[in-house]
Amino acid sequence: MAFFGRKKRGENKAESLQSIDPDRLPKHVAIIMDGNGRWARSRGLPRIEGHRQGAKSVEEVLTACGELGIPYLTLYCFSHENWKRPKDELDFLMGLLKTYLMNQTKRLIDNSVRLMVIGRRDGLSKDVLDVMDEAIERSKGGTKQTLVLAINYGARQEIVDAVREISREVAEGKLSADAISESTISEHLYTRNLPDPDLLIRTSGELRISNFLLWQISYSEIWITPKAWPEFGKPELCEAVSEFVQRDRRFGGLT
């Protein structure tokens, strides 16, 4: 699967992963894509150029996940808190999202990639929602990969929405309060049809979660790189996955 014409990198690391037992590879990788603005500023470019370059990294990483056999990729595209940014930057980000979806939907379909979007729809304009919904509908038959875009997403907001939904079901007599369990909460999250991430990656060296998938990453392995998102591609993904397969995942128990 190839989405673009950038020179292939990181082939040696990728080849070494081919010999790994597929069951040891992460099934779901989630990425906090950070550092677009800093990458641009360090090169004397406007912040929007960092976002534009970051879109190319999305294509490269999605392709690399397909080559490695990683079926789920979740990208933190736009947080609930990002609305605090200047209006011209917000307008550019929404336009970039629309352009990406319009340009890439056919390629997603051709490569059997299903698109999902998690987050609140409130605040997103009708034209963005229309393009988003069309891309989701057209790609719903994809079976090789699932690309999840977290847009207008916040983990605390997600949990609040889940609690509200559960509360309504209890009030309506559809659910007993005593029957509420961890699985009940998981089934009411935006990610209810997805496996929890095995590997969480954050770019640009920041040491925080930033309100991303707080419930779902309880036992995710975390890998942080100082490289900004526009610098992140196949070699960096393969490095993260190579370290992941060497970790001892005990889930609170003993090996």
- Give the start-to-end residue ranges of the domains of the chain: 26-245
Stretch 41-68: mean pLDDT: 95
118 beta partners: 150
Per residue in 227-250, pLDDT tens? Answer: 999 999 999 999 999 999 999 877
Instruction: Supply the pLDDT for residue 250.
Output: 75
Instruction: Supply the pLDDT for residue 19.
Output: 66
3-state secondary structure the chain: CCCCCCCCCCHHHHHHHHCCCHHHCCCEEEEECCCHHHHHHCCCCCHHHHHHHHHHHHHHHHHHHHHHCCCEEEEEEEEHHHHHCCHHHHHHHHHHHHHHHHHHHHHHHHCCEEEEEECCCCCCCHHHHHHHHHHHHHCCCCCCEEEEEEEEECHHHHHHHHHHHHHHHHHCCCCCHHHCCHHHHHCCCCCCCCCCCCEEEECCCCCCCCCCCCCCCCCCEEEECCCCHHHCCHHHHHHHHHHHHHCCCCCCCCC
Per-residue pLDDT band for 105 (boundaries 50, 70, 90) equals: very high
Computed on alpha carbons and rounded to an integer, the radius of gyration of the chain in Å comes to 19
- Contact between 22 and 248 (Cβ < 8 Å): no
Residue 110: pLDDT above 60?
yes
Instruction: Supply the pLDDT for residue 8.
Output: 52
Stretch 146-165: mean pLDDT: 98
Per-residue pLDDT band for 255 (boundaries 50, 70, 90) equals: low
- Contact between 57 and 232 (Cβ < 8 Å): yes
- Contact between 120 and 159 (Cβ < 8 Å): no
Per-residue pLDDT band for 4 (boundaries 50, 70, 90) equals: very low
Instruction: Supply the pLDDT for residue 5.
Output: 38
Residue 149: pLDDT above 70?
yes
Per-residue pLDDT band for 13 (boundaries 50, 70, 90) equals: low
**Mean pLDDT rounded to a whole number for the chain:** 92
- Contact between 247 and 221 (Cβ < 8 Å): yes
Q: Which two tokens stand for residue 153?
A: 């997403």
Cα–Cα distance between 200 and 33 in angstroms, integer? 11
The second-level CATH assignment, the architecture, of 26-245 is 3-Layer(aba) Sandwich (3.40)
CB neighbours of residue 6 within 10 Å: 14
Cα–Cα distance between 115 and 108 in angstroms, integer? 8
Enzyme catalytic residues: 34, 82
Top pLDDT among 231 and 255 is at 231
Instruction: Supply the pLDDT for residue 244.
Output: 96
Q: Which two tokens stand for residue 141?
A: 């038959």
